Chains A and B, each alone.
Chain A
């Protein structure tokens, strides 16, 4: 069972304050830390577990600059076998479709049974690149996948999709297919520092647009259907209340409000 996993390096914005930069088309990333997109981390683990159960190999693909090598190496340290990084100035500013075109070109010559992406990314959150990729290469897909079972003949998979309220929708899907992996499907393993260092010896194949047989007009902003206009911060609504003070005070105030509104 050969699995391709598409991963993205994203800024960690959960704990940090996010500021829009002067261009209004990006955020100030100078003080942010970066790592693998959360869903992608689960996708890597799922791929490695499938390989451990059924043999085969795991190929990691990422579109991004040199910094993305860090997340690729971490995936290789956990058990990935091969890796490819797609980098070209022409890729900049691409929407989910433009990214999918580059990924489709990258997997064209690979032998695979399943392609995993994360269900969505922590930065743009379109939840669309994987679906677009499946359409472009003509394979079935499922998203928000929280359970994968390869059926005995290896030609089909039973896939559980997590819907609202934790409801699971089970479906059978033909292989090869594309699955968008949701967090919580497994418990991602730890990549030790020594493991990451050893993984640095594995080659990461670098591909630009022309290596992939793509014209600059197919990818990046030129090849996108949606183009980013600008970011704006959320407006504080009339009903919003910001508690100020020491953590003990603000926590107590929050608890009072929750009790008052019957939420606890």
Chain B
């Protein structure tokens, strides 16, 4: 391995680290795995040790939730060092088969779920949706980017189907990419596959810019974050669906007639909250639903506990047998008396719903996306 090529010290400003330990102190997965990100900030300064450090399994425990970066007094991003170490493993080809299969599937079929491209629009089989034409003369207001997990996962499909119902009810002028839609690459970058991420960036930017739209709306905060902060040369503004729906409610375009008498809480996804400061819109939407009693988690907004679904963790199993953070989260929800945990992210939906099953409380507590609750209130 050649230190000049990698340049960890410069790339991650490692000499700026004062070893205060706030990163590890705030790291949610440090509660259940051996990961100590402060040690990696120190040890990776010795570039002769990079190969050895990249072989330590705990580098794959990081969910890239951003708590370490949000708390760093020097403005460093310790999680990026772990992603850098993962990159070394990727270039050697030495990765878990599940990670390999997800990445190969993105290269081959544009999604990490080993599903064929031809099935990408199966979720919309019974719906009347508008597929955008590139270079169209007429402008469509919203390009709706669906996300691989919403498109293929039978549970998460219900979220995008609910969004279509909401957009139709509000009379939004929107269109979809259809079968040609490909993975945003957020998880690709976080699993350390820099080259493949660059491909996602280039190909998606070219595709998106070929459409005549006013703005792009995403369902997943992971797509949102990547389009907004990591893509190069996008012509259109990026919105998360919570921003669009809040706007529709505010403008009186979306009316919620049905009363839902439920105690509801909201789990802030890391990629929407901590990483993009979108805290108010989801709460604005939920509190507009008639009959809802809204209760906050103790750990909410920027202190929200990570569900462990990000950073490629959907494809990496952590060896720890300690209680999962998602299990802690649903216990917390039970304590505040919530009947429904709402989320705004496909990964949070899957991890938290799974946790209610592990805890045996799935009969009494539902985990649903805000959009599903909205669709019920229409």
Which stretch (A103-111, A118-126, A183-191, A252-260) binds chain B?
A183-191
Q: Is the interface of A mostly helix, strand, loop or mixed?
A: loop
Closest to A30 in B: B118
| Interface contact B97-A12, CB-CB below 8 Å | no
Interface residues of B in 237-258 (CB under 8 A from A): none
| Interface contact A195-B93, CB-CB below 8 Å | yes
If A190-B100, A193-B195, A193-B199 touch, whether A31 touches B117 (CB-CB below 8 Å) is yes
| Interface contact A189-B93, CB-CB below 8 Å | yes
A153 sits at the interface (CB 8 A): no
Contacts of B93 in A (CB 8 A): 78, 189-192, 195
Query: Shortest beta-carbon distance, A147 to chain B, in Å?
Result: 19
Closest to A248 in B: B154
Q: In the complex the two chains form, what is the Cα distance from A170 to B12 in whole Å?
A: 52
A232 sits at the interface (CB 8 A): no
**Interface band, chain B:** 20 to 34
| Interface contact B107-A16, CB-CB below 8 Å | no
| Interface contact B117-A192, CB-CB below 8 Å | no
Q: In the complex the two chains form, what is the Cα distance from A17 to B118 in whole Å?
A: 9
A35 sits at the interface (CB 8 A): yes
Q: In the complex the two chains form, what is the Cα distance from A125 to B288 in whole Å?
A: 59
Q: In the complex the two chains form, what is the Cα distance from A54 to B20 in whole Å?
A: 48
| Interface contact A192-B196, CB-CB below 8 Å | yes
If A33-B108, A187-B97, A247-B154 touch, whether A192 touches B115 (CB-CB below 8 Å) is no
Complex partner residue of B109 from A33, A187, A190, CB under 8 angstroms: A33
Contacts of A189 in B (CB 8 A): 92-94, 100
| Interface contact A192-B108, CB-CB below 8 Å | no
A67 sits at the interface (CB 8 A): no
Query: Shortest beta-carbon distance, A249 to chain B, in Å?
Result: 12
A residues within 8 Å of B by Cβ? 12, 15-17, 31-35, 78, 187-195, 197, 246-247
B residues within 8 Å of A by Cβ? 90-95, 97, 99-100, 103-104, 107-109, 114-119, 154, 193-196, 198-199
Q: List 16 A-B contacts (CB under 8 A).
A: A16-B116, A31-B117, A34-B108, A35-B104, A35-B108, A190-B90, A191-B93, A192-B90, A192-B91, A192-B195, A193-B107, A193-B193, A193-B194, A193-B195, A195-B93, A247-B154
